[in-house]
Amino acid sequence: MDSKLLSFIAASFTSLLWTSLPSIDITILILFCTCLIIRKYQHLGCFLLGIVWMASVGHWQYTLQLSSEQTSRAIQIIGEVKSVVIADQNIRFNLRVTHIEGKALMFSRTFRLNWRNPGWQVQQGQKVKLTAKVKPPHGLANEAGFNYQQWLLSEGIVATGYVKSHPENQLMVDDKSVRQRLLNQMLEFDLSNSAWLAAITFGYRGLLQPADWVLVQNTGVAHLIAISGLHLALVASLSYVLIGWIAGALISRYNSLHFINLHNLAMLLTLLTTLSYSALAGFGLPTLRAWLMLLLFSVFFLRNKSLRPKSLILWALCAFILMFPLSLFGLSFWLSFSAVLIIYFIFWRWPSNKDGFSLMALLLGLLKIQLCLALLMLPLVAWQFSYVSLVSPVVNLIAVPIVTMILVPICITAVVSLAFDPQWALQLFLAADFIIEYGLRFLDFALTLNGAYFNLPKLPALVWLLVFVFVVCLCLPSFWLNKKYLWLLLLPLTSYVFTPQLKTWQIDILDVGQGVAVLITKNNRAIIYDVGASYPSGFNMADSVLLPLLQARGLTSNVDFVLLSHGDNDHAGSLPQLLKGIKPPQVLTNKTHCQKGLNLKWQGLRVTALWPDDAHKYNDNNGSCVIKVSDNFHSVLLPGDIDTGIEKQLVNMFPKQLQSDILLAPHHGSNTSSSSEFIGTVGAEYVIFSQGFMNRWRFPRQEVVNRYKVSAEPRLFSTSQSGQVSFFIESNSSAPIIVKTFRQDMYPYWYANSLGLQKLPD
């Protein structure tokens, strides 16, 4: 049976490599073939069933998408608030929508909404009627940074948007969830570390600040502030022992109860206890995964069927793929099951001593598990997050027992006490607050140590896979293979330590929504032109796009200068956040040095400013610093937000200098720019519109696109459709320019790109 389960699981995993879904006709054909062969060829049949299942899930997700008519205007929706909400303003929450425009939906849909100034305090469990402007799930698409669109799919979210002020917005039923009420009660106490207590006790991490996340990530303890399998295993163990002890005392006292099987009773009640604990955590997927494994183990145990750990893992994987298939596309799934497989490998490789229990044996076992977990998880963490925490094994060795054996039991007892005696709950939460206070001091101290952690450039997945194989092979018994040749697996990794001098330079038009950010690189050095926007919520393009990309390429310390076209938020808003992560020697703005006459030589390239003559004489847009970067054969023109009037002046002054192979369309494709004369003079082979998905100005405008098509017939790109657009140019050579886009060339998978993409106007 294990091999059949493995066939189904392997087929499901192949959906991660699909660039498009099999059509419905092909899916039905595969299902028909499966029915014909599954009796004779069971393994192949199970494999095909996995293909059919994941294809069906993908097509089902497509059917849940909103129509273009529903996303083109504000709509009235009715639903229930799914996520815990604490803030009074600028809130974000998930809504399970049951009605749209007064019509009941056959299947509810999950929307993720922002509400800047809510009319009441939004809380989990409330039923609300709202007027909202929504759009299909979409996220920025760059080679580094968080893939928001893929995360939305993994969470089953079919639309994002914001709530509009409207007289018909209404709180229909103010029925807060038990989890929300308990969290509200805890937050009423005067606790200095309430944000951490909310995360550890209720799985609510919305109160944590960016600095808090940096602390737990760099020390490697982020998994401890999410209610996951580790916490559930502790609750299950405590519950089983307490129930067994109490029930055993009752059963032994009354002869009429002797027929009860104590183990079965304790296991069934433990399932209910842990399910309640999962509800306390908001039924997060990590908790549900752990509870599902506990359920499977209990079912097989109660039916007196022996189940090896390998079989339990396969059954759990198969069940989870069937119940929560979209979670395959989320990182949490892979981190959780990787940890489970590694723990299984550890117990297989170094089985526990069965001579008897001893405290020393327990401590040595915990040390072994923690060190092996840290070592074997290192390639996966380094691949996904581009950093390595050297203090993580030691920190976890101390933090894991304290959090799981002391802090979590105190917090759970405090939550139970809230229903009986709030004063008892307060004292318990104060004790937990005391432990967290000293724990945070310990984490701060760990980060002060030399070499506590270090960032890594982003390397291909294959390189980290070879590192993982190297580590696993080191752990295998010597008689399995000759280990003296294992170092060959590290050659690809060591090759990335050296940065050879290249003959190419690269231009990256980054996807920063409605804004501009351009990265120009050569020989591991960089220039940045504009930095994208920053928003009142704290979200900004420096932290979400630019800094992750610079870190991934190892360029954080190698930015030679930053050029700002002008001071508008969508071009310069993220500068303060960017300067916290990098220290460029120069920041040139249109009000200072980035003006007409600027002529820099940079690694054999010429960086020339064609405009403005004096930025103070013009409005912000027309005072934009117009930059041309070129070698002897190829060039790129970056014109900021200039309008047709400035374009005309530039055409008259610099008819030859304007000629470029690559053009960033002025003002994001606004009809006030990109005159036919300007387009013809530049004569670009490639034109990029840097604009936001379904933006309110409808950039690029249809008439602008038409002018480009008529005048020069270039290849047109929009960042909202293609994501990051990268150009690779061989220095001082007439060789053709190579162009790649993130969505079509770098990460062309259906689950990250297909839903709701905006196309250029025809």
- Sign of the CA dihedral running 403, 308, 312, 304: negative
Contacts of 499 (CB under 8 A, 6+ apart): 523, 524, 554
Q: Cis peptide leading into 612, omega within 30 of 0? A: yes
Report residue 181's pLDDT band, with 50, 70 and 90 as the boundaries: very high
**Token digits of residue 243:** 């129930």
In whole angstroms, what is the distance from residue 74 CA to residue 713 CA? Answer: 37
Count the alpha carbons within 13 Å of 717 in the hemisphere toward its beta carbon: 26
**Token digits of residue 577:** 């956040």
The H or E element spanning position 8 is helix 2-13
The residue-averaged pLDDT of 154-178 equals: 94
614 C-beta neighbours (distance < 10 Å), count: 11
pLDDT tens string 282-323: 787 778 888 888 888 888 777 777 667 788 888 888 989 999
The residue-averaged pLDDT of 601-608 equals: 95
The residue-averaged pLDDT of 649-676 equals: 96
Looking at this protein, which amino acid is placed at residue 382? A
pLDDT tens string 97-106: 999 999 999 9
Q: What is the pLDDT of residue 758?
A: 47
In whole angstroms, what is the distance from residue 721 CA to residue 451 CA? Answer: 41
pLDDT tens string 28-42: 999 999 998 988 889
Task: Convert 660-699 into a string of H (helix), E (strand) and C (coil).
Answer: CCEEECHHHHCCCCCCHHHHHHHCCCEEEECCCCCCCCCC
The residue-averaged pLDDT of 377-406 equals: 84
In whole angstroms, what is the distance from residue 649 CA to residue 646 CA? Answer: 5
In whole angstroms, what is the distance from residue 325 CA to residue 65 CA? Answer: 17
Contacts of 64 (CB under 8 A, 6+ apart): 107, 109, 158
pLDDT tens string 703-724: 999 999 887 678 999 999 999 9
Percentage of the chain modeled with pLDDT above 70:
95
Contact present, 315 and 297 (Cβ < 8 Å): no
Contact present, 75 and 134 (Cβ < 8 Å): yes
Contact present, 746 and 740 (Cβ < 8 Å): yes
The residue-averaged pLDDT of 256-276 equals: 82
Report residue 525's pLDDT band, with 50, 70 and 90 as the boundaries: very high
Higher local confidence (pLDDT), 314 or 521: 521
The residue-averaged pLDDT of 363-385 equals: 78
Count the alpha carbons within 13 Å of 430 in the hemisphere toward its beta carbon: 8
Point out which residues pair with 663 in neighbouring strands: 637, 687
Contact present, 615 and 591 (Cβ < 8 Å): yes
Looking at this protein, which amino acid is placed at residue 309? P
- Helices vs strands, H then E, count in the chain: 28, 22
Report the range out of 36-45, 293-302, 374-383, 605-614 with the highest average pLDDT: 605-614
Q: How far is CA 720 from CA 139, 751, 758, in A?
A: 9, 16, 7
**Position 363 pLDDT exceeds 80:** no
This model's pTM is above 0.85: yes
Looking at this protein, which amino acid is placed at residue 641? D
**Position 352 pLDDT exceeds 70:** no
Residue 734 CB burial class (10 angstroms; 0-12, 13-18, ≥19)? exposed
The C-alpha angle 90, 95, 97, rounded to 5 degrees, equals: 140
Contact present, 506 and 520 (Cβ < 8 Å): yes
Report residue 362's pLDDT band, with 50, 70 and 90 as the boundaries: low
In whole angstroms, what is the distance from residue 432 CA to residue 435 CA? Answer: 5
**Token digits of residue 481:** 């293979």
Question: Mean pLDDT for the chain?
Answer: 89
Point out which residues pair with 717 in neighbouring strands: 688
DSSP string, 47-90: HHHHHHHHHHHHHHHHHTSPPHHHHSS-EEEEEEE-S----SSS
The H or E element spanning position 478 is none
Residue 240 CB burial class (10 angstroms; 0-12, 13-18, ≥19)? middle
Q: How far is CA 359 from CA 31, 225, 238, 364, in A?
A: 55, 27, 18, 9
Q: How far is CA 399 from CA 391, 394, 431, 439, in A?
A: 12, 9, 16, 8
In whole angstroms, what is the distance from residue 464 CA to residue 458 CA? Answer: 10
Q: How far is CA 758 from CA 68, 665, 667, 694, 698, in A?
A: 11, 18, 19, 7, 11
- Sign of the CA dihedral running 613, 616, 622, 628: positive
pLDDT tens string 187-242: 999 899 999 999 999 888 888 888 898 898 888 888 788 777 777 877 888 888 88
Higher local confidence (pLDDT), 391 or 88: 391
Looking at this protein, which amino acid is placed at residue 179? R
**Token digits of residue 439:** 């724990």
What is the 8-class DSSP label of residue 224?
Answer: G
pLDDT tens string 747-757: 999 998 865 44
Residue 38 CB burial class (10 angstroms; 0-12, 13-18, ≥19)? middle
**Position 258 pLDDT exceeds 50:** yes
Percentage of the chain modeled with pLDDT above 90:
57
What is the 8-class DSSP label of residue 514?
Answer: S
In whole angstroms, what is the distance from residue 124 CA to residue 175 CA? Answer: 8
The residue-averaged pLDDT of 145-158 equals: 93
Q: Enumerate domains of the chain plus CATH numbers.
A: 2-63 (no CATH), 68-176 (2.40.50), 216-455 (no CATH), 461-495 (no CATH), 504-749 (3.60.15.10)
**Position 16 pLDDT exceeds 90:** yes
Nearest to 48 by CA among 4, 98, 99: 4
Nearest to 399 by CA among 391, 387, 388, 410: 391
Report residue 448's pLDDT band, with 50, 70 and 90 as the boundaries: confident
Residue 615 CB burial class (10 angstroms; 0-12, 13-18, ≥19)? buried
Nearest to 693 by CA among 447, 513, 460, 443: 513
The residue-averaged pLDDT of 585-605 equals: 94
What is the 8-class DSSP label of residue 486?
Answer: G
Q: What is the pLDDT of residue 245?
A: 83
Helical segments of 14-41, H only: 24-37
